Amino acid sequence: MLIHPTVEKLRNCSWPAWPTAWSISCDPGRGRPSFEDRPGLLVDREETARANRRLKTRLTQARLRLPACMEDIDYRSRRGLGKSLMLSLASCQWIAAHLNVVITGPTGVARRTGCALAQQACRHGLRVMYQRLPRLCHDLEIAKADGSYRKQLAKLARADLLVLDDWGLAPLTPENRRDLLEVLDDRYQARSTLITSQLPVGAWHQYLDDPTLADAILDRVIHNAHKIELAGESCARRRRNVDRTAEGAKNDPCVATPGGGRNAAEQVAVMGWTGRPESIGMGGRNHWNTQPSSASASTSPRSASRAWPRRIPPARRPPPANCATTRACWRAAGNCGRRRAR
């Protein structure tokens, strides 16, 4: 039976995963399944492909700031992040119950956790929208000017989960506060909202700077929300500490680094043409040679790009200074010198 016409017909249909699955099932080297099993394998392959495409579409539409996921969360660090609470939130039952989540913490920490929960919601087939609060306020001002304000509010209200990042980062005008109240009022007890902020919840009332609107906004967010207060260093500071540690290890002579921190020319001067260190002893046998040699000052284009090993291989290690081979070499060198003197 010719499978190529069948594969071409499947490509023309709206089943993009079937041609590959059909070719695999007809491959003699893989073992052909029975007639009863083949339709099930094809349907499973097509269902998996369509689910992956839908997930990719939801993630593209969500426009999450960070590609974080629940599997990457580290519960060993002392940040105040409970594993039981996160596993409960990963089931997305709080979205079905129209509850909110408020995450506060240092820069980048709350955002990463919020993006992980948002991606988990996309995996459950929910529509997610990610918005930074300063940019959302700016977009609503533009929507008022071009007449698409109601359309923008309806779009925000349709999302199953709305992620508001950078809450409290920039001051709000009275018009921004009223727009924010409109957005949250449309979603109250109808959709879920996830807010990430560097400010603690106790400072939100002062940040909104309007007692009446602050009470109305916080009443629609806080009282039916799961609150997560994270501690620890910010992501930017943690990255700087890691970079400093790596730089210090590179410059530390006690830390083993390839090449000992030298450039290619210095490595050639140290290792010589044979790849052996020019000094003998324990320092030359077991560690990188830190004593430059004047005998190997010549360089070669070939040696400038050569990558030296982290440790000297046993075949290239010089013999110990007190072994029989070394003593014989020194005796031969002495006899040769005496012959030349004669």
Q: What is the pTM of this model?
A: 0.62
Show the domains of the chain with their CATH numbers: 70-236 (3.40.50.300), 257-324 (no CATH)
DSSP letter string over 92-160? THHHHTT-EEEEE-STTHHHHHHHHHHHHHHHTT--EEEEEHHHHHHHHHHHHHHT-HHHHHHHHHH-S
Q: Give 324's pLDDT tier (boundaries 50, 70, 90).
A: low
Residue pLDDT, tens place only, 260-304: 444 434 443 334 434 444 444 444 444 444 444 444 444 444 444
Asked if the model's pLDDT at residue 312 lies above 70, the reply is no
pLDDT above 90 as % of the chain: 46
Question: Residues 234-260: what's their mean pLDDT?
Answer: 49
> How much is the pLDDT for 37?
60
Q: Give 39's pLDDT tier (boundaries 50, 70, 90).
A: low
Are 129 and 165 in contact, with CB atoms under 8 Å apart?
A: no
> How much is the pLDDT for 45?
74
Residue pLDDT, tens place only, 151-210: 999 999 999 999 999 999 999 999 999 999 999 999 999 999 999 999 999 999 999 999
> How much is the pLDDT for 107?
82
